[in-house]
A and B are shown apart, each in its own frame.
Chain A
Amino acid sequence: MKKNRTVPFVAAITVGMATMLGCAEDTPKDDAADQATVVWWGYAPDTSVGELWAAEFMKDHPDIKVEYTNYENVDYAPAMEAAMQSGRGPDVFPVATGGVTGRELLGPYGMDLASIAEEELGPLWKDQFGPGYVDQLTYDGAIVALPVGGVATGFFWINKDLFDTHGVSTELATYDDLKAACETFGAAGVTCLTMGVASLDCFIIDLMHTISQSYDHDYFLEAVLGERSFDDPTFVAILDKLREMLADGVFAQNVVSIKQYPEANNEFLSGQAAMVHMGTWYAQYAKRDGMIASMEAAGVSNPTPFTMMPMASPDFAGDGHPAKPFGDVDYGMAINKDTKNLEAAKTFVLWLTSTKTGQQTVVNAIDLLPALTGVQPEWDNLGLVDPEIQIPAFTELFDEGANPDGWRLMAITSETNNALVVAAQRALSEPGASTAEIAKQAESEVFRTDF
């Protein structure tokens, strides 16, 4: 006879549920049940910094819990697109001014924050942020994100300990000085300038912009905006310089095989490379705790922090015009149009961007230049590895970055980003192709739009 197993199964489920319900009635009400949760995804800041900001916010707002998830730069846009299309996106997310994490891609998912900012900061609210920062986060007439902080690049970060160990000057005024330094490092088995061009992220564009400023100060932005072309002799000269840097051993041979993150970043932080071309966001690793964590993440066991310093760009063209830091808003924080936690998300975004406490927390991570005017990092309390020599250099860098010499990514569409990276990849890996032909192809693939 066939045994009916359904009855005991249903009975067991019923008893189980009754038991659980009974337990639930006896359990005291958990405060966490009233806590709103803000889900925050981002490509920046690093996880440890994001968690620190969230913790500081939750001290001020214990009724709101912030959960942060960090993605690698190249993974962020795909993750966001898929999540937003399926209605499972985060409540708040960063939007950059340009590039593959920029407002052009992510702006449509954010709500217009103009009225929220005006309500919080008054009618002149835009003036309270860094130069042009709010405009750089405007998409289709809407303020899609409020500035969290600015960024500047156009200089190098150096491992001062390696420079000192190998007797190399930390002031490399000309390209020949850079080349000579790299010969010294190369002979000692140290990578001179680590750079990763394997993926389509924008770091090689920053370096090309730095080189470009040396040849023709205004050229790069004019070409990005369409006032000049990328098959201009200046761009050809930039590509030729990249080739020269590879031939001279300034770049390591793996420059087109590795990515800036994580590989080039790890080479620098693990002490295998003397220099890296990054921006002000990299200052965060100059803090003793941040450096130890990042060195461990780079594979170093029992790390000893080294002294990291910014170094002005050499004069690549040799005519006395080295680059000055250029930059724009690094990113702003957007609120998902479809968020179900609007009030909590608003509270978090306004705290982070528009309050002195929030901005002080942000800038003390020295990941970003201050977005809100009048806030500066508390340099003496940051736990830098060697405050005596780092604080004057960092203060000067942050002052220069607050008044940048031109935009960084503001006008770069993702197609332009792609075309310029591919041009760099070709210049560095196709010795048989003429740089004039590579430049011509880049010009045919860029996409310009009105900003």
Chain B
Amino acid sequence: MLPAVLFSTGLVYACVGYVGYVSLMPPRWRPVYPPAVEGFDSYAQALDDRLFWTSIWHTALFFLVSYALIVILGIVLAALMHSRIYLPTIFKVIIFVPSVIAPAIMAPVHRQVFAADGPINWFLERLGLIAVEANGTRVWAGWLQGLLPKIGLGDVTPNWIQPTTSLWVVVAAQVFSSVGIAFILFFASMGQIDRETLEAAKIDGAGNIRVLWSIIVPATRPTIATLAILHGITSLKLFDYPYLITSGGPAHSSEFLGTLIYNVLFGTSSRYGYASALSVMLFVLALGTSVLMSLSTRERRPRAPKAAGRV
């Protein structure tokens, strides 16, 4: 067992070390060229790169919005599952199945759902909120047509994979595929809550919302914390959905660190030095985030009394 553990962890950390070494090469260095350690030029370039900061901003937005939605939906769906609902097994399967389907399979579905002639726009057309012009172009109609410019969204057209909305398409896809896991975790966590506490609250006159907010949510705090760590790391490493649905675009509007690294490595001149520096920064960010989150969510225990001195 020990040799296998040493070999596998050694391999992983050797690769991390190699990426760190390559990050010190010139930004445009490739393995076909002779090694030439140049220092921290690639890191300086990254800090000066508009796309790097755009990706970080997208990651932060993605994390905040998708995490909030996943937690809220997970808690609500798990609470519903614990109440008396019709056909509970089918309910559970419907919620969980998107979590087990590979992104490569789901991505084309999401592309179609959010296409200009896809089902969302079809539905909005039926509601009278989208009109189709003679040349086939879709435009907003009804009350939505007047509202969007007033709230600063005058540039948004009924085409979801565009700079204003493409990030939110990725968020929607991720929430759709992650909520099943959150649902299962919350469902298990809620099963640990003492039924007598819930019954006592009901007897004291607490309604469903009050019970959910004052008893269930505090009791599932460890699950919320675990999801924060898992989703934080997922957000930093995000690649599959933005790459498969939007290719990080249009015009980098859904660029994340993962897609940026991929594009730098394979889309623009194979800049191994620069891509490696970005990878190291991603690694540090992921490690730092998980450590910080672990520390901030650790249960506070009363400090143990000092051991008595030897006599």
Please tell me which one of the listed residues A77, A199, A429 contacts residue B163 in the complex, with CB atoms under 8 A apart: A429
Q: Please tell me if B92 contacts chain A, counting CB pairs below 8 Å.
A: no
Are B163 and A426 in touch, CB under 8 angstroms? yes
Are B270 and A429 in touch, CB under 8 angstroms? no
- For A81-108 the 0/1 string (1 means CB < 8 A from B) is 1001100000000000000100011001
How many whole Å from B20's CB to the nearest CB in chain A? Answer: 17
Chain A residue with Cβ nearest B169: A257
Q: Please tell me if B6 contacts chain A, counting CB pairs below 8 Å.
A: no
Are B250 and A256 in touch, CB under 8 angstroms? yes
Are A108 and B32 in touch, CB under 8 angstroms? yes
- For B17-28 the 0/1 string (1 means CB < 8 A from A) is 000000000000
Q: Please tell me if B268 contacts chain A, counting CB pairs below 8 Å.
A: yes
Number of A-B contacts (CB under 8 A): 112
**8 Å CB interface, B18-65 against A:** 30-33
Are B249 and A253 in touch, CB under 8 angstroms? no
Q: Please tell me if B246 contacts chain A, counting CB pairs below 8 Å.
A: yes
Are B267 and A418 in touch, CB under 8 angstroms? yes
Residues of chain A contacted by B91 (CB below 8 angstroms): none
- For A4-36 the 0/1 string (1 means CB < 8 A from B) is 000000000000000000000000000000000
Chain B residue with Cβ nearest A82: B266
Are B155 and A253 in touch, CB under 8 angstroms? no
Q: Please tell me if A414 contacts chain B, counting CB pairs below 8 Å.
A: yes
Residues of chain A contacted by B158 (CB below 8 angstroms): 253
Bound CA span A254–B246, Å? 12
Please tell me which one of the listed residues A84, A100, A431 contacts residue B155 in the complex, with CB atoms under 8 A apart: A431
Bound CA span A445–B26, Å? 18
Tell me whether A418 and B246 are in contact in the complex, defined as CB-CB below 8 angstroms, given that A252-B136, A254-B117, A257-B161 are known contacts: no
Are A415 and B268 in touch, CB under 8 angstroms? yes
Chain B residue with Cβ nearest A430: B163
How many whole Å from A401's CB to the nearest CB in chain B? Answer: 28
Are B269 and A414 in touch, CB under 8 angstroms? yes
Q: Please tell me if B90 contacts chain A, counting CB pairs below 8 Å.
A: no
Q: Please tell me if B247 contacts chain A, counting CB pairs below 8 Å.
A: yes
Bound CA span A46–B134, Å? 37
- Number of B residues whose C-beta is below 8 Å from A? 39
- For A395-419 the 0/1 string (1 means CB < 8 A from B) is 0000000000000000001110010
Are B163 and A253 in touch, CB under 8 angstroms? no
Chain A residue with Cβ nearest B267: A200
Bound CA span A192–B159, Å? 18
Secondary structure at chain B's binding surface: helix, strand, loop or mixed? loop
Bound CA span A428–B159, Å? 12
- For A416-451 the 0/1 string (1 means CB < 8 A from B) is 001000100110111110000000000000010000
**8 Å CB interface, B128-151 against A:** 133-138
Residues of chain B contacted by A100 (CB below 8 angstroms): 266-267
Q: Please tell me if B252 contacts chain A, counting CB pairs below 8 Å.
A: yes
Residues of chain A contacted by B270 (CB below 8 angstroms): 77, 81, 105
Are A187 and B134 in touch, CB under 8 angstroms? yes
Chain A residue with Cβ nearest B252: A422
Residues of chain A contacted by B160 (CB below 8 angstroms): 257
Please tell me which one of the listed residues A74, A248, A426, A428 contacts residue B135 in the complex, with CB atoms under 8 A apart: A248
Are B269 and A257 in touch, CB under 8 angstroms? no
Are B135 and A429 in touch, CB under 8 angstroms? no
Are B268 and A249 in touch, CB under 8 angstroms? no
Q: Please tell me if A183 contacts chain B, counting CB pairs below 8 Å.
A: yes
Chain B residue with Cβ nearest A188: B136
Q: Please tell me if B116 contacts chain A, counting CB pairs below 8 Å.
A: yes
Are B251 and A430 in touch, CB under 8 angstroms? yes
How many whole Å from B254's CB to the nearest CB in chain A? Answer: 11
Q: Please tell me if A182 contacts chain B, counting CB pairs below 8 Å.
A: yes
Q: Please tell me if B263 contacts chain A, counting CB pairs below 8 Å.
A: yes
Are A425 and B250 in touch, CB under 8 angstroms? yes
How many whole Å from A441's CB to the nearest CB in chain B? Answer: 9
Are B269 and A253 in touch, CB under 8 angstroms? no
Bound CA span A148–B117, Å? 40
Are B30 and A198 in touch, CB under 8 angstroms? no
Chain B residue with Cβ nearest A257: B161
Are B246 and A414 in touch, CB under 8 angstroms? no
Please tell me which one of the listed residues A81, A105, A199, A257 contacts residue B159 in the complex, with CB atoms under 8 A apart: A257
Are A249 and B251 in touch, CB under 8 angstroms? no
Are B116 and A254 in touch, CB under 8 angstroms? yes
Are A200 and B135 in touch, CB under 8 angstroms? no
Bound CA span A414–B32, Å? 18
Q: Please tell me if B184 contacts chain A, counting CB pairs below 8 Å.
A: no
Are B135 and A186 in touch, CB under 8 angstroms? yes
Are A198 and B246 in touch, CB under 8 angstroms? yes
Are A105 and B269 in touch, CB under 8 angstroms? yes
Q: Please tell me if B226 contacts chain A, counting CB pairs below 8 Å.
A: no
Bound CA span A295–B115, Å? 22
Residues of chain B contacted by A429 (CB below 8 angstroms): 162-163, 250-251, 253
Residues of chain A contacted by B162 (CB below 8 angstroms): 256-257, 429
With most chain A CB atoms within 10 A of its CB, the pick from B33, B247, B249, B253 is B249
Tell me whether A254 and B159 are in contact in the complex, defined as CB-CB below 8 angstroms, given that A85-B31, A104-B269, A197-B250 are known contacts: yes
With most chain A CB atoms within 10 A of its CB, the pick from B136, B159, B163, B247 is B136
How many whole Å from B132's CB to the nearest CB in chain A? Answer: 10
Bound CA span A187–B132, Å? 10
Q: Please tell me if B265 contacts chain A, counting CB pairs below 8 Å.
A: yes
Are B159 and A186 in touch, CB under 8 angstroms? no
Q: Please tell me if B99 contacts chain A, counting CB pairs below 8 Å.
A: no
Are B135 and A189 in touch, CB under 8 angstroms? no
Q: Please tell me if B157 contacts chain A, counting CB pairs below 8 Å.
A: yes
Residues of chain A contacted by B253 (CB below 8 angstroms): 429
Bound CA span A425–B134, Å? 24
Are B266 and A415 in touch, CB under 8 angstroms? no
Name 5 extra pairs, CB < 8 A, besides A81-B266, A428-B250. Answer: A78-B266, A200-B263, A253-B136, A426-B251, A430-B155
8 closest A-B pairs by beta carbon, nearest first, are A249-B135, A186-B135, A257-B161, A425-B250, A78-B266, A108-B32, A425-B251, A256-B250
Listed by A's residue number, 22 A-B pairs whose Cβ atoms lie within 8 Å are A77-B266, A78-B266, A85-B31, A182-B135, A186-B136, A187-B135, A189-B136, A198-B249, A200-B263, A200-B267, A249-B133, A253-B137, A254-B161, A257-B159, A257-B160, A413-B269, A418-B263, A418-B268, A422-B252, A425-B163, A429-B253, A447-B269
